[in-house]
Structure formats: structure tokens, C-alpha cells
Amino acid sequence: MKSPRKVTRRKFIAHSAAATAGTVVAVKVLPQLAQAADATAAFKSKWQESLDRVWIGPEYWANPMQDWQVKNGRVECVKAAMDRQLHLLTRQVGPQRGTIEMSVKIGRVGGGKLKAGKGSFGLRLGILGTLKDYPERHDFRNNLWPAPNSGFHIGVNSEGGMFTGSLGSAANSRVLVDLDREAVELSVQVVPDGDAYKVKLTVFDAATRKQLGQSEVDKISSNQLNGNIALISNFGSVAARGGGKAKGKAAEASFGTGEFWFSDWQVSGTKLTVNESQTFGPILFSQYTLSKGVMKLTAQMPPIGADDSQTVRLQFKQGNAWKTAGEETIHPEARTVTFRIENWDGNKEVPYRLQYVFKTRGRDTLHQWAGLIRKDPKDKPVLTVGDVSCNIHAIFPNTELVGNMAKLDPDLLAFVGDQFYESCGGYGVQRAPLEPAIIDYLRKWYFHGWTWRELTKDRPSISLPDDHDVYQGNLWGEAGDGRKTTQEAGGYDMEATWVNVVHRTQASHHPDPYDPTPCKRGTTNYYGPLTYGGVSFAVLADRQYKSGPEGKVPKTDTSRGDHVLGLNFDPKTADLPGLQLLGDKQMQFLRDWVTDWKDAEMKSIISQTIFTAMATTHGGPDGELRADYDANGWPQTPRNEALAIIRKAFAFHIAGDQHLPAVVHYGVDTHKDAGLAFAGPAVNVGYPRWWRPAKTGRNAKTGTKGELGDFLDHFDNPMTVRAFVNGPDQPPKPVMEQVVAKTSGLGVVRFDKKKRKITIDCWPYTTDPTKPGGQFPGWPVVVDVTENYARKATAHLPTLDIEGVKQPLVEVFEEKTGELVYALRLQSTKFQPHVFANGSYTVKVSDPESGKSKQVKGLAAASGNKEKLKVKV
């Protein structure tokens, strides 16, 4: 993205008008904002008018969010810790020649003299994020997660030392000001000086305006100043995982930490670029689904205060009028608002808008967030599903990838897990106490929402939390239980209330869960059915019920309870009775689901990861594993039982998690006798995995030459690899090149209902998906729906000649047991059912939409069956 240019009044008004079509519209504020833009970029904080709340306001981003609040008309950093930042979103320092003037008042939270305590305070300019070395990609959102040592620091320490420059300059501060006072005002002037700039800091007593001191530096290049602007509480470095002290910062002065308040922040000057639309909130983003006549929509809100409005209104456009459909209360923990509308007419597209009354002292403004509930694309021949997962946000906000996905215009977006990682946004994670830990999660979740909101507002999406979404490297959920010993022994690290916030923020807009009764510790369920665009999906939770291996399987030969190295490992020893993959109730859901074909021509499951252990090499090029219990190739018995149900509906599998894009064909008893799966590419790969079958004994044993074809996975499950892409052993260091090289990219699955074919597309990160070619080698992969149960037939039933239904559902049952053999929705009215054993069968032919059906009993299976049978439904 180009750096935004200075906005003239005329341009700004044009821009605002465009913004009303989709994003946040501050209806009553617009005229005032327009004036501000006119007045050479002048910005003034209005905290004196703000209600008390954690969320600072639409024009700010606080790092980390839980450490800041607005209170009594000022903003406070309430944690004495290093490098707490409050970014201004609407203004950045631009490359153009010009001036900057800034001022802010500062004192200690709780009162007292500034000299009475430790810490430092001030401002930072020139904050750039991970994309700092890519000027053409600079983006104010990327800068919210600053690159290490990024920025030009301007501040005062508690001993009165003034500093301007690098973090190290704080140690060399020569000008001292007398901090024997409660509050000071920092005033900063940046003026051109030849080819460079002079930066002058003046400190005043905030009450008397008496000047206390002044310091000036020159020969500052524009490059040091360009980027985001932030208030800083305690200059210093935060260790990557938070908490601990930064290493290797000998030159960095430490003046300890304090808690500081800020007020009357003013920023102006011609070197600023202004974009008043660069705000976030109060309605942050929205997600919705439509299934079986029920539309569910969730709006995500920030942590508002007790005196703020607690409700959000939903309106639909009918003709030229907006009609209110409902008003719901914001969930106190998840900060979500969910609307559930029954009897939804999927034949129409309906514009919607969410409204929230944003209160300040003495003035209310109406904020809106608008989108579109699309017409159910059941008549479109092809339904396109975006398969999105694993975003370490290395290059947040991934503008290019999101733009490419937008060009493909998928009908449905499936975010299948790891919507962020613990490292996202810096500061590590905060796990306790509960309230700040929830806000810590929300800040990271907001990165995801802010990345995708332009797409999720206008099309249905689902979101499956995976392990990193619940702050775990791996998750064996043990039916919602809490962790007792090691992670590998199973259970959730975080308490159930927190986990339920994750479930609510990510999945409350899903169709109602199959099981509304929470599992252990009150952990809520989100798995269930979704029918959209003529395709029936089973949305699964493949971690929530899974057994933890440690203490159950034979002790591993590594320090981890999930990794096995020894090539003589016998997978049978790990296939033990009582182990769970999906859990009993979720298995019951799958049994119900394979017979539910109303409004569905094809079927697919969607879950976090694939049901095989494909990757041979983990983390680094030498990280070969004999077995990895995190993979859903284990536990074998429940895995096989699940696949044996899923294949009955010829269902495909959409997943992610692996960071190793691949199309695999599952086997239960033999190769290819179950469905195919797509492990989609990661948005931004962190932890790499490779497929190198020659390198592990077990995989090589099958004798397949090359890397495509039939193999056994870690757990001896038959597995056929149809396509895959490995990243390099040593990826390049620069972040953009690294993201691309590590096989980050874009994955899409197309369900062609006319041809009953599934096409899997997979593009490298920077490839334009609308141009022909350019996919990863081996893609696209095209699969016929019947390949999803390509078990060899041993006999056939009579050829059916069906009348009375256009696209009949044919269900074949074993007569003796009554068990469903399979169910297939036909494109034609002629079909010869195949079976896998001799015997007697019942065939049920039906029209799932009207409910009409006909059963024929006593059909004998025979090889070379030439019989014909007319079935009138």
C-alpha cells in the first residue's frame, strides 16, 4: 500500500462518501472531521469528553490493550512495565518535507510528584512494523506491532533527564529538568534543517506553563521520523515473550517503570499524512452465516465501559427504508453481539447495517457498520470456499493476500484455525487474571478481524479455534477438561470462561451447535451442520475431544510426550481402547449428518487439521519425526471410525494447520478407500513442516517411488499424496521473501455441483490468482465426488431408473443390519449402486427437499448385475 498523501478537504469529503458504502461511518461527526482535515492535519485528543473505559477510542491502538484505560478525562497506563504504547491511527509522519508540532501533558497515575518514583515517559515518532524495509508496503496497521528498535524516542526520565533519539540516548541525557511537580507538558517541534531535521523538546510545568528545560538535536533524517506516532509509558524493550528483561541492550538506559497518565495530546504539522478513515471501532467487524433458513450474525465490539451504551442494533434494508430487526446486548466477556434471525429468505440479497450509539460526555454519535447478506448461491453451478488458516501475522495486515482473496470472491470463507499466534502483536501473552487475559486475547483476535473484515461483512464465514487460538502450542482437549500435568497429557491451559470467550468470538455466528450442552468445565460446543449454496458442511472440532497421549500411550523416546524418533516405533502399541478423536456425541452428529441432504448436492467436512500424519519433518530441516501425536492420524481406531462414517456421504475434507499445503487421499483399510482432504496453505507460515518420505523409514517402506502416491503415515494409516509443496531448508531472512518462500499462500476449494467435481486451488503468496497458471506445482487438483469413497466394489445392485425426482438422493442400506452403506445425491436419474459385499440391500430413493421417498427392499447384490429397476418416487 502506498503511503497516504496529505488529504485536502475536497479529497477527504470524497473519501468519506466512499466510506459510507461499507465501513465505519461516524454520521454526526463527519463535518467536524472534515474541518480538522482542513486545518493542516491538526489533531487534538478528546479524552476530557470520554467516558471511562479500557478501549481508548476509534483513533487509537493501545499496546497491550489491557494496560491502558481512559479515566477521569485522561488516558492512563495502569501497568508499570516497559514500552507501553498508545498509537494514533489517523496520522502518520510522511516522507514529505514539512514540520511537526506535538504536545502532551503527563503525570503519575494516582497523583504524586513526577520525581517521586521511577520510570520514563514521552512520545515516539517513526514507528515502523515488520515491513519497515519495504517502503512501498508501509501500512499504519503493520506499524502497530513495531519492529525491534524502531522509532525516534522523545522523553523524560524520572530523574529529569531529557532525551531525543535512539533508546540508547536516554542514557546520555544531559539536560535535566526539575520534576518536583505533579505534571509536565512535553512540547516537540520538528523543523527542516537542510536535507535533515531538527528536533526540539521543551518541558513545561503543566500547571504554570513555566519552562523547565529545552534540548535540541539536529541532523535527523526523515527516515528516522517516518511512520506511526505513539505515546510511551516507560522507554525500554519488552522481551519477546513478555515479562522478562530484554537481552543484549547494554546501551539502553533503564530508569525503571512507573504508571503515567496523559492528557491534551496535540499533533499537527505539514509533515503529517492524514487519513480520518483509519479508525477501528466502536463496531470493529462482523461475521455471519446462513443455513437452513436461519441467519446468524455476530458483531465484535471493543472493551467498552460501564456507562457506555450496552446494545447494538441490526437493521435491514427493505426497498429504500431501513427496518430494525433487533437490538441485542453486548456480551460482557466476549464483547460480542449475536443476532439470530429465523425464516430467512435466502433468495434475496439484503443489505444490513449495525448501529451503535457511541457516547461521550454530553454528546452521542451514531456509528454504523454496513454489509450484505448475500443471496444463498444454491443455483450457482460452483460454490467457492476460501480455506484460510495459520496466520502468524508476520506481515500484518496481509493486504495483498486479502486483496487476492477478494478478487476470487469466495462464496464462503472457512477460517480453520490459528487465526493468530501467541507472539502476535508483541508482549507475549497474559494468562491471568481473567479480565486482562480476555482483553489480551481480544487484541490478538482483533488482528484477525481487522485483516479480514472487508470480506467477512459481505459473505458468510466460519471460524474454528485451533490450539494457538487458545494459547497452546498443541491441544488435546479431553472434552473441555483443564490441564492437569503436561500439555501432552491433555486438557486446556486456560480456564473455561476464557476458552468460551474464544468460542463465542469465533463461532457464535455459526449455525446452532449440534450439542448445546457444554462439555467438561462448562466448555461450550461449536461443532454442527452448515448448509449453504447447495453444499452441506459438517463443521467439526477435532481438538476439543481428543485424548492426550502422554500417560496413555507407551512412553516416547524424546523429552516431549507427543514426539517419537525411533524408527522401530510400532504404531499398534498406541492404538489403545478408550482413546477419543471426536468424542461420542460428535460421532453421533456425523452419523446424522451423512443422511441429511436437504438443499445439499455435495458434502464436505471442515475441521482444523487433516486425519492423517503426513509431515515427516518438523520445525527445521533436521526435525524428522517417526510419529507426532498431534496429528489426527492418531488415535487410529476413532480416526478410522470417523472416516468410515464421513465417506458414506462422499464428503471432502477442508482443513489447515499443517503449514505444508497438500492434497491427500485417506485410506482406512487400504489406500483411497476414504475421502480426500486439503491441508490449505498458511496465511503466514511460522513453524515449517516438510514432506520427505524418503527420510523416514516407515514411509519409504511402501516402496512408492517419488513423493506422490501411496504411503503409510506415522501411524500406519494408508495415505495417498496427490499434491504438496515443501519450503526451503534455509528460508531467506527478509520478512516478505521469507513469508513467500515458506509456502504461505491462498487456498480455495470449488464444489462444482453440475459436474459433481471438486477443484482444489493453491497459490503462492504473491501470485495473482486471477491470472492463469501460477499455482503451486501440482495444483489445481480435480477430484470426482465419487473418489471420496473409492473403495473397490465387489458387487452391484440393479441399475435404477428413477422417476419423479430430478436430483434424487440414493441411500443404500445393508438389509441385515440396517446400516447405511452410503448416500449419494445424483445429477441424473440413472444409477447402478455398487456395494462392497454380497447380500441383500434396501435402496431408498428420495427428494430431500419435498420429503418424497420410495424404498425398495430385498435387492440382491451380484457381480455383473445386468438387472434394471424402475423406481417411481
* Closest CA relative to residue 535, chosen from 785, 294, 802: 785
Pick the piece of the chain touching Fe ion (CB under 5 A) from 415-423, 428-436, 498-506, 747-755: 415-423
The C-alpha cell 462448562 sits at 522
Residue number with CB closer to Fe ion (76 or 418): 418
Pick the piece of the chain touching Fe ion (CB under 5 A) from 298-306, 388-396, 441-449, 792-800: 388-396
Q: Compute the distance between CA of residue 615 and CA of residue 691 in angstroms, rounded to an integer.
A: 5
- The set of residues, in sequence order, having a beta carbon less than 8 Å from that of 772 and lying 6+ positions away, is none
Residue number with CB closer to Fe ion (36 or 390): 390
Strands 183-193 vs 100-108: parallel, antiparallel or unpaired: antiparallel
Q: Least distance from C-beta 393 to Fe ion, angstroms?
A: 12
Pick the piece of the chain touching Fe ion (CB under 5 A) from 385-393, 533-541, 815-823, 856-864: 385-393
Residue number with CB closer to Fe ion (600 or 655): 655
Pick the piece of the chain touching Fe ion (CB under 5 A) from 389-397, 510-518, 703-711, 751-759: 389-397
Residue number with CB closer to Fe ion (445 or 514): 445
- 418 contacts Fe ion (rule: CB under 5 A): yes
Residue number with CB closer to Fe ion (110 or 619): 619
Pick the piece of the chain touching Fe ion (CB under 5 A) from 411-419, 506-514, 582-590, 754-762: 411-419
Pick the piece of the chain touching Fe ion (CB under 5 A) from 130-138, 414-422, 521-529, 689-697: 414-422
Q: Compute the distance between CA of residue 783 and CA of residue 651 in angstroms, rounded to an integer.
A: 11
Q: Compute the distance between CA of residue 856 and CA of residue 873 in angstroms, rounded to an integer.
A: 11
Pick out residues in 149-168 that bind Fe ion (CB under 5 A). none
Residue number with CB closer to Fe ion (419 or 636): 419
Q: Least distance from C-beta 642 to Fe ion, angstroms?
A: 21
- 464 contacts Fe ion (rule: CB under 5 A): no
Residue number with CB closer to Fe ion (649 or 682): 682
- 470 contacts Fe ion (rule: CB under 5 A): no
**Between the CA of residue 129 and those of 143, 753, 785, 845, what are the distances in Å?**
4, 44, 45, 60
- The set of residues, in sequence order, having a beta carbon less than 8 Å from that of 686 and lying 6+ positions away, is 390, 392, 394, 421, 423, 659
Residue number with CB closer to Fe ion (119 or 681): 681
- 390 contacts Fe ion (rule: CB under 5 A): yes
Interface with Fe ion: number of residues (CB under 5 A): 2
Q: Least distance from C-beta 134 to Fe ion, angstroms?
A: 24
Q: Least distance from C-beta 390 to Fe ion, angstroms?
A: 4
Residue number with CB closer to Fe ion (418 or 601): 418
3-class DSSP assignment, residue 56: coil
Please tell me whether the peptide bond between 31 and the residue prior to it is cis, using omega within 30 degrees of 0.
Answer: no
Q: Compute the distance between CA of residue 347 and CA of residue 590 in angstroms, rounded to an integer.
A: 28
Q: Compute the distance between CA of residue 750 and CA of residue 789 in angstroms, rounded to an integer.
A: 19
Pick the piece of the chain touching Fe ion (CB under 5 A) from 165-173, 418-426, 603-611, 692-700: 418-426
End-to-end CA distance of the chain: 59
Contact indicator for 465, 506 with CB cutoff of 8 Å: yes
Residue number with CB closer to Fe ion (420 or 715): 420
DSSP string, 665-689: EE-SSSTTSS-EEEEPPEEE--S-E
Residue number with CB closer to Fe ion (114 or 660): 660
Q: Compute the distance between CA of residue 774 and CA of residue 250 in angstroms, rounded to an integer.
A: 48
Q: Least distance from C-beta 391 to Fe ion, angstroms?
A: 8
- The set of residues, in sequence order, having a beta carbon less than 8 Å from that of 593 and lying 6+ positions away, is 529, 536, 538, 603, 649
Residue number with CB closer to Fe ion (80 or 475): 475
Site track 37-56 with Fe ion (rule: CB under 5 A), x = hit: --------------------
Q: Least distance from C-beta 687 to Fe ion, angstroms?
A: 7
Q: Which segments of 534-632 does DSSP mark as H helices, in order? A: 584-593
Contact indicator for 628, 614 with CB cutoff of 8 Å: no
3-class DSSP assignment, residue 403: helix
Pick the piece of the chain touching Fe ion (CB under 5 A) from 1-9, 20-28, 416-424, 813-821: 416-424
CB atoms within 10 A of CB 171: 16
Q: What is the 3-state secondary structure (H, E, C) of 434-446?
A: HHHHHHHHHHHHH
Pick out residues in 204-263 that bind Fe ion (CB under 5 A). none
Q: Least distance from C-beta 686 to Fe ion, angstroms?
A: 7
Pick out residues in 280-339 that bind Fe ion (CB under 5 A). none
Q: Least distance from C-beta 501 to Fe ion, angstroms?
A: 20
Site track 344-383 with Fe ion (rule: CB under 5 A), x = hit: ----------------------------------------
Q: Least distance from C-beta 735 to Fe ion, angstroms?
A: 18
Residue number with CB closer to Fe ion (507 or 651): 507
**Between the CA of residue 600 and those of 645, 731, 848, what are the distances in Å?**
18, 43, 9
Stated length of the chain: 873
Q: Least distance from C-beta 658 to Fe ion, angstroms?
A: 8
Pick the piece of the chain touching Fe ion (CB under 5 A) from 219-227, 309-317, 413-421, 817-825: 413-421
Q: Least distance from C-beta 663 to Fe ion, angstroms?
A: 18
Strands 853-860 vs 809-814: parallel, antiparallel or unpaired: unpaired
Residue number with CB closer to Fe ion (252 or 418): 418
* Closest CA relative to residue 635, chosen from 740, 517, 716: 716
Q: Least distance from C-beta 685 to Fe ion, angstroms?
A: 8
The sign of the torsion formed by the CA atoms of 686, 87, 56, 430 equals positive
Pick the piece of the chain touching Fe ion (CB under 5 A) from 57-65, 390-398, 670-678, 778-786: 390-398
Residue number with CB closer to Fe ion (308 or 418): 418
Burial of 576 (0-12, 13-18, 19+ CB in 10 A): middle
Contact indicator for 509, 528 with CB cutoff of 8 Å: no
Q: Least distance from C-beta 17 to Fe ion, angstroms?
A: 40
Q: Least distance from C-beta 801 to Fe ion, angstroms?
A: 49
Q: Compute the distance between CA of residue 540 and CA of residue 538 in angstroms, rounded to an integer.
A: 6
Residues in contact with Fe ion by the rule CB under 5 A: 390, 418
